[in-house]
Amino acid sequence: MVENVKELLKLHEGITHQVYLDNENSTIVPQEVVDAMLPYFNQKAYGNPTLTHKPGWEAFEVIMNCFQKISRFVGAKNLEELTFTPGETEANNLAIMGSAFAKKELGKKIVISEIEPINVLHVTDLLKKFGFSTTKIPVDREGFIDLEKLKEAVDNETVLVSVSSVNNELGTIQPIKEAVDIVKAKNPQTLFHTDASDAYGRIPIDVQNLNVDLATVSSYKILGPRGMGAMYLREGINLERILEGQIGTQKLWPGVENTPLIVGFTKASELAFENFEVNIAKMRALRDKLVDGIFSELTDVKFNGPKGDKRSPDNANISILRCEGEALTIELSLKGIYVSSGSACSRRLLQPSHVLVAIGRRFSEAHGSILMKTTRYQTEEDIAYVLEVLPVAVNRIRGIVGSTGTD
């Protein structure tokens, strides 16, 4: 395996133009964010924020400032409503498991959409071992949840509903506020959680306006460092810890706080929100140029998810028929263009994306999908290069498929 990777990397030597569009699965961290983090590794605020000495007090002050800023960006009333975690996965596990265990005396039913991220699907499956059941709400062909089915599913036994604000693969912007109103009308005791990782920094997010009880956000999804995320918990709601250990500045996630990564997450958030409308407009323009170019250059392609204002401004998910997605990602990579095929969480399982299957795509259409996400750091020249290379790669693969008689 290692030798195969070495050989693949050799094939990439000499690439002069690189365009990174796989921002669903990892991101390049901007230099401004790196520069903001570096001093906190060895120059200042490197202490444990719970200890009574200068480095500890410095760390405490820095972390509290970061709490305040992130709280403001998500719309939390105060910094006590926020918990930093090592990432989106951990935040979702804390929100869902912590809610379930805290409310288990009221019921053991959890409701989610059928296109939730893999980490949500897995944690709800895990909770079955503790006697909980999961009901999955279907979606339409654009990925929007069926609100009538949601209303039918919520009952007196429902302790938690979890629906992502923006689907990570399709970019579908869900009607979260309307969904919360439906849930609370059926059962005021039911908690509502939303994974807002793909909404944060892309669409306006205000947990007070949405009236959600819990929300999670991710650092790397907004070009911050990996290994950092946050969970919002509405004041007055009890949650059980899912990990035990030394309690520092936050009661729901034990251990010593990672000051450099918290600073990086906060800096990335500041950069995303300080010119929010300009950033969004640029991502949308680049995304639209990319999509329009693909559809003008290629036949037998399908757009996955909604268009216009109902979709996240950075997201392009396209099924290219008669072209296997994994083969295309390799072909593009050899030209310095990096995209993903389906979901990173499932790509090595040789299974189609559960999200694309849920919206009615055939297996061949799902396997032929590529997911691309634009950022404010890309240029029109980058997109032009992609549109120059991608049709050639697709036609080459289609030619191989045609010559072998397979589809």
51 within domain boundaries: yes
Using the predicted structure, report yes or no on whether residue 407 has a pLDDT greater than 90. no
Buried-exposed string 263-297: b where 16+ CB fall within 10 A, e elsewhere: bbbbbbbebbbeeeeebbebbbebbbbbbebbeee
26 within domain boundaries: no
Whether residue 134 sits in one domain with residue 240: yes
3-state secondary structure of 54: helix
Whether residue 9 sits in one domain with residue 89: no
Pairing state between β 158-162 and 191-195: parallel
Whether residue 280 sits in one domain with residue 374: yes
Whether residue 264 sits in one domain with residue 171: yes
303 within domain boundaries: yes
Pairing state between β 82-85 and 229-233: antiparallel
Whether residue 157 sits in one domain with residue 10: no
Whether residue 222 sits in one domain with residue 138: yes
The amino acid that residue 155 corresponds to is D
What does the pLDDT look like over 185-197, one tens digit per residue?
999 999 999 999 9
Check: CB of residue 253 under 8 Å from CB of residue 94.
yes
What does the pLDDT look like over 8-34, one tens digit per residue?
777 788 788 999 999 999 999 999 999
Which of 225, 253, 273 corresponds to the end of one domain?
273
Whether residue 323 sits in one domain with residue 179: no
pLDDT of residue 42: 94
CATH number of the domain bearing residue 45:
3.40.640.10
CA distances from 253 to 72, 90, 221 (A): 21, 10, 21
Best CA proximity match to 375, nearest among 262, 186, 224, 208: 224
Phi and psi for 30 in degrees, rounded to 5?
A: -60, 150
Whether residue 219 sits in one domain with residue 145: yes
Whether residue 288 sits in one domain with residue 266: no
pLDDT of residue 221: 96
| Average pLDDT score, the chain | 94
CATH number of the domain bearing residue 394:
3.90.1150.10
Q: Is 251 exposed, middle or buried (0-12, 13-18, 19+ CB in 10 A)?
A: exposed
64 within domain boundaries: yes
Strand order in the sheet with 369-373: 301-303, 315-320, 369-373
pLDDT of residue 343: 46
Whether residue 371 sits in one domain with residue 306: yes
Pairing state between β 214-218 and 229-233: antiparallel
Q: What confidence category does residue 344 fall into, taking pLDDT thresholds of 50, 70 and 90?
A: very low
What does the pLDDT look like over 87-127, one tens digit per residue?
999 999 999 999 999 999 999 999 999 999 999 999 999 99
Number of domains forming the structure of the chain: 2
What is the C-alpha to C-alpha distance for residues 394 and 401, in angstroms, rounded to an integer? 11
What is the C-alpha to C-alpha distance for residues 275 and 32, in angstroms, rounded to an integer? 15
Pairing state between β 133-137 and 109-113: parallel
What does the pLDDT look like over 227-282, one tens digit per residue?
999 999 999 999 999 999 988 889 999 999 999 999 999 999 999 999 999 999 99
Secondary structure letter of residue 51 according to DSSP: S
Residue 176 tokens read as 């979260």
What is the C-alpha to C-alpha distance for residues 176 and 213, in angstroms, rounded to an integer? 12
Whether residue 297 sits in one domain with residue 263: no
**Residue 81 lies in domain:** 32-273
Q: Active-site positions?
A: 345
What does the pLDDT look like over 289-322, one tens digit per residue?
999 999 999 999 999 999 999 999 999 999 999 9
What does the pLDDT look like over 316-343, one tens digit per residue?
999 999 999 999 999 999 999 999 996 4
Which of 223, 242, 273 corresponds to the end of one domain?
273
Check: CB of residue 263 under 8 Å from CB of residue 66.
yes
Which of 273, 299, 326 corresponds to the end of one domain?
273
Q: How many CA atoms lie within 13 A of 50 on its CB side?
A: 11
27 within domain boundaries: no
Residue 138 tokens read as 């279907």
76 within domain boundaries: yes
Whether residue 334 sits in one domain with residue 221: no
